[in-house]
Amino acid sequence: MTIPASLNGFYASPVSVNTETKWIIAVVGRDILLADGSRMAKNPLIDSDATDSLGFFCQRKITLGQWLSRDCEVWDLMPEVTATEGFSLVGLRDLLTVAGEEIFSLACRAVQLLDWQDKHRFCGSCGEPNQATAKEHAMTCHKCNINNYPRISPCVIVLVTRGDHCLLARNASWPTNRFGALAGYLEAGESAEQALHREVFEEVGVEIDNIRYVGSQSWPYPGQLMLGFIANAVTDEIKVDGIEIAEANWFRYDQLPGNTAPPGIMAGRLIQYYVEQATLACR
> Which amino acid is residue 177, in one-letter code?
N
Rounded-to-integer distance, Cα 227 and Cα 168, Å:
17
Other Cβ atoms less than 10 A from the Cβ of 199: the count is 23
- What pLDDT is attached to residue 168? 97
Tell me the β-bridge partners of 75: 26, 61
Give the helix/strand (H/E) hosting 132. strand 131-132
Same fold, 10-118 and 153-281: yes
**Domain segments of the chain as ranges:** 10-118, 153-281
Q: What is the pLDDT along the chain (283 residues), one digit of tens a residue?
A: 333 444 555 666 677 776 677 888 899 988 888 877 655 445 667 777 767 788 899 999 998 888 777 888 899 999 999 888 888 888 887 777 667 677 777 888 889 999 999 999 999 999 999 999 888 899 999 999 999 998 888 999 999 999 999 999 999 999 888 999 999 999 999 999 999 999 999 999 999 999 999 999 888 777 789 999 999 999 999 999 989 999 999 999 999 998 888 887 899 999 999 999 999 987 7
Rounded-to-integer distance, Cα 273 and Cα 269, Å:
6
Other Cβ atoms less than 10 A from the Cβ of 32: the count is 25
Alpha helix stretches (DSSP H) within the chain: 38-41, 92-99, 101-119, 192-204, 266-281
In a 13 Å sphere around the CA of 266, the CA atoms on its Cβ side amount to: 23
- What pLDDT is attached to residue 125? 93
Contact 87/81 with Cβ under 8 angstroms?
A: yes
The set of residues, in sequence order, having a beta carbon less than 8 Å from that of 113 and lying 6+ positions away, is 62, 64, 74, 137, 150
- What pLDDT is attached to residue 37? 63
Tell me which CATH code domain 10-118 carries. Answer: 3.90.79
Give the helix/strand (H/E) hosting 90. strand 87-91
DSSP string, 174-195: S-TTEEB-EEEEPPTT--HHHH
- What pLDDT is attached to residue 42? 52
Please state which CATH class domain 153-281 belongs to: alpha beta
Q: Which residues of 37-46 are buried (b: 16+ CB within 10 A; e: fewer)?
A: ebbeeebbbb
Torsion angles phi and psi, residue 105, rounded to 5: -60, -40
- What pLDDT is attached to residue 45? 74
Task: Fill in the DSSP letter of residue 69.
Answer: T
- What pLDDT is attached to residue 122? 96
Tell me the β-bridge partners of 144: none
Residue among 134, 161, 138, 45 at smallest CA distance from 95: 45
Instruction: Report the length, in residues, of the chain.
Output: 283
- What pLDDT is attached to residue 140? 95
CA Rg, the chain, in Å? 21
- What pLDDT is attached to residue 53? 81
